[in-house]
Protein backbone atom coordinates (compact mmCIF):
# COMPACT_ATOMS: atom_id res chain seq x y z
CA UNK A 1 0.00 0.00 0.00
CA UNK A 2 1.15 3.54 -0.76
CA UNK A 3 -0.18 6.86 0.48
CA UNK A 4 0.78 10.46 -0.26
CA UNK A 5 -0.99 13.46 1.24
CA UNK A 6 -0.80 16.98 -0.17
CA UNK A 7 -1.91 19.22 2.73
CA UNK A 8 -1.90 22.40 0.64
CA UNK A 9 -4.58 21.02 -1.71
CA UNK A 10 -6.15 18.62 0.81
CA UNK A 11 -5.52 15.68 -1.53
CA UNK A 12 -4.96 12.13 -0.37
CA UNK A 13 -3.58 9.72 -2.97
CA UNK A 14 -3.45 6.03 -2.21
CA UNK A 15 -3.04 2.70 -3.93
CA UNK A 16 -2.84 -0.97 -3.10
CA UNK A 17 -1.13 -3.43 -5.41
CA UNK A 18 -3.64 -4.74 -7.93
CA UNK A 19 -6.47 -2.52 -6.66
CA UNK A 20 -6.01 0.77 -8.54
CA UNK A 21 -5.05 4.29 -7.50
CA UNK A 22 -7.32 6.85 -5.84
CA UNK A 23 -7.48 10.55 -5.12
CA UNK A 24 -9.74 11.42 -2.18
CA UNK A 25 -11.57 8.12 -2.72
CA UNK A 26 -12.13 8.50 -6.50
CA UNK A 27 -10.28 6.23 -8.92
CA UNK A 28 -7.64 7.98 -11.03
CA UNK A 29 -5.77 7.19 -14.24
CA UNK A 30 -2.71 8.60 -15.92
CA UNK A 31 -3.06 10.71 -19.05
CA UNK A 32 -3.50 9.28 -22.53
CA UNK A 33 -1.49 11.89 -24.42
CA UNK A 34 0.50 10.35 -27.24
CA UNK A 35 3.00 12.95 -28.42
CA UNK A 36 5.80 14.75 -26.57
CA UNK A 37 4.67 18.10 -27.92
CA UNK A 38 1.19 17.52 -26.41
CA UNK A 39 2.55 16.40 -23.05
CA UNK A 40 3.73 18.17 -19.93
CA UNK A 41 6.66 16.43 -18.30
CA UNK A 42 8.79 16.74 -15.20
CA UNK A 43 12.43 16.24 -14.41
CA UNK A 44 13.88 15.81 -10.95
CA UNK A 45 14.99 19.14 -9.48
CA UNK A 46 18.11 21.13 -10.43
CA UNK A 47 19.66 21.22 -13.88
CA UNK A 48 23.00 19.85 -14.98
CA UNK A 49 24.65 18.81 -18.26
CA UNK A 50 22.71 15.50 -18.34
CA UNK A 51 19.38 17.28 -18.09
CA UNK A 52 20.35 19.79 -20.75
CA UNK A 53 21.32 16.90 -23.08
CA UNK A 54 18.04 15.11 -22.34
CA UNK A 55 16.05 18.26 -23.09
CA UNK A 56 17.94 18.75 -26.36
CA UNK A 57 17.20 15.15 -27.36
CA UNK A 58 13.51 15.56 -26.52
CA UNK A 59 13.38 18.78 -28.53
CA UNK A 60 14.82 16.85 -31.46
CA UNK A 61 12.26 14.06 -31.04
CA UNK A 62 9.40 16.57 -30.92
CA UNK A 63 10.33 17.47 -34.52
CA UNK A 64 10.74 21.15 -33.81
CA UNK A 65 7.43 21.51 -31.99
CA UNK A 66 7.32 23.02 -28.52
CA UNK A 67 7.03 20.77 -25.50
CA UNK A 68 6.50 21.52 -21.82
CA UNK A 69 8.68 20.44 -18.93
CA UNK A 70 9.22 21.61 -15.38
CA UNK A 71 11.13 20.55 -12.32
CA UNK A 72 9.42 19.82 -9.04
CA UNK A 73 11.58 19.10 -6.03
CA UNK A 74 9.27 16.43 -4.66
CA UNK A 75 9.02 13.03 -6.33
CA UNK A 76 5.85 12.47 -4.31
CA UNK A 77 4.17 15.54 -5.78
CA UNK A 78 5.31 14.60 -9.31
CA UNK A 79 3.94 11.11 -8.78
CA UNK A 80 0.58 12.49 -7.70
CA UNK A 81 0.42 14.77 -10.73
CA UNK A 82 1.28 11.97 -13.15
CA UNK A 83 -1.08 9.44 -11.56
CA UNK A 84 -3.98 11.88 -11.84
CA UNK A 85 -3.13 13.03 -15.39
CA UNK A 86 -2.02 16.57 -14.44
CA UNK A 87 1.44 15.77 -15.82
CA UNK A 88 2.34 13.15 -18.38
CA UNK A 89 5.86 11.90 -17.73
CA UNK A 90 8.75 12.03 -15.26
CA UNK A 91 12.45 11.28 -15.54
CA UNK A 92 14.37 10.93 -12.30
CA UNK A 93 18.10 11.38 -12.49
CA UNK A 94 18.92 10.07 -9.05
CA UNK A 95 19.10 11.54 -5.59
CA UNK A 96 16.93 10.88 -2.62
CA UNK A 97 16.15 7.52 -1.11
CA UNK A 98 13.67 4.70 -1.45
CA UNK A 99 11.20 6.72 0.64
CA UNK A 100 11.10 9.28 -2.20
CA UNK A 101 10.24 6.75 -4.92
CA UNK A 102 8.34 3.80 -3.46
CA UNK A 103 4.92 5.39 -2.87
CA UNK A 104 4.78 7.44 -6.10
CA UNK A 105 5.90 4.40 -8.13
CA UNK A 106 3.11 2.18 -6.79
CA UNK A 107 0.46 4.90 -7.09
CA UNK A 108 1.50 5.65 -10.68
CA UNK A 109 1.62 1.97 -11.63
CA UNK A 110 -1.85 1.43 -10.23
CA UNK A 111 -3.04 4.50 -12.18
CA UNK A 112 -1.90 2.84 -15.42
CA UNK A 113 1.60 4.28 -15.86
CA UNK A 114 4.59 2.33 -17.04
CA UNK A 115 7.58 2.57 -14.70
CA UNK A 116 11.05 1.44 -15.68
CA UNK A 117 14.69 2.19 -15.15
CA UNK A 118 16.61 3.91 -17.96
CA UNK A 119 17.27 0.53 -19.62
CA UNK A 120 13.53 -0.10 -19.97
CA UNK A 121 13.57 -2.85 -17.34
CA UNK A 122 11.01 -2.95 -14.53
CA UNK A 123 12.04 -0.42 -11.90
CA UNK A 124 13.35 -1.77 -8.57
CA UNK A 125 13.37 -0.10 -5.17
CA UNK A 126 17.18 -0.03 -5.21
CA UNK A 127 17.27 2.23 -8.31
CA UNK A 128 17.14 6.03 -8.31
CA UNK A 129 16.98 6.60 -12.06
CA UNK A 130 13.49 5.93 -13.34
CA UNK A 131 10.98 6.86 -16.01
CA UNK A 132 7.26 7.15 -15.33
CA UNK A 133 4.87 7.78 -18.22
CA UNK A 134 1.74 6.49 -19.88
CA UNK A 135 2.03 3.60 -22.35
CA UNK A 136 2.19 5.95 -25.36
CA UNK A 137 4.84 8.35 -24.12
CA UNK A 138 7.03 5.88 -22.22
CA UNK A 139 8.84 4.47 -25.29
CA UNK A 140 9.53 8.00 -26.57
CA UNK A 141 10.88 9.18 -23.22
CA UNK A 142 12.93 5.99 -22.84
CA UNK A 143 14.38 6.53 -26.31
CA UNK A 144 15.31 10.12 -25.44
CA UNK A 145 17.13 9.02 -22.26
CA UNK A 146 19.50 6.85 -24.29
CA UNK A 147 21.51 10.00 -25.09
CA UNK A 148 22.55 9.97 -21.43
CA UNK A 149 24.26 6.58 -21.86
CA UNK A 150 25.80 7.13 -25.27
CA UNK A 151 28.36 9.74 -24.24
CA UNK A 152 26.18 12.64 -25.38
CA UNK A 153 26.04 14.09 -21.89
CA UNK A 154 28.76 15.19 -19.51
Give 22-43 pLDDT, tens digit per residue: 999 999 999 999 998 889 998 8
89 is in which domain, residue-wise? 30-148
Pick the range with the lowest mean pLDDT from 26-35, 106-115, 124-133: 124-133
> Is residue 1 situated within a structural domain?
no
| Residue 74, CB-side half-sphere exposure with 13 Å CA sphere | 9
Q: How confident is the model at residue 15 (pLDDT cuts 50, 70, 90)?
A: very high
According to the model, what pLDDT value does residue 96 have? 77
CATH number at residue 61: 3.40.190.80
Q: Residue 28 — φ and ψ, nearest 5°?
A: -125, 160
Distance (Å, rounded) from C-alpha 8 to C-alpha 110? 24
> Is residue 108 situated within a structural domain?
yes
Region 51-72: mean pLDDT is 75
According to the model, what pLDDT value does residue 55 have? 76
> Is residue 4 situated within a structural domain?
no
> Is residue 18 situated within a structural domain?
no
pTM here?
Answer: 0.86
Q: How confident is the model at residue 153 (pLDDT cuts 50, 70, 90)?
A: very low
> Is residue 75 situated within a structural domain?
yes
For the chain, the domain total comes to: 1
> Is residue 143 situated within a structural domain?
yes
pLDDT above 90: residue 44 = no
Region 79-102: mean pLDDT is 89
Q: How confident is the model at residue 122 (pLDDT cuts 50, 70, 90)?
A: very high
> Is residue 46 situated within a structural domain?
yes
Selected residue with higher pLDDT from 111 and 48 = 111
> Is residue 21 situated within a structural domain?
no
Distance (Å, rounded) from C-alpha 21 to C-alpha 119? 26
Amino acid sequence: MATIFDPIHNELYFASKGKGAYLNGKKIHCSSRKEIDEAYGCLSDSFNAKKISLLAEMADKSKGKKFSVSTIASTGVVGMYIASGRRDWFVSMGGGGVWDYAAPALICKEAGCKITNWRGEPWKLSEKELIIANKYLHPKILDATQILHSGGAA
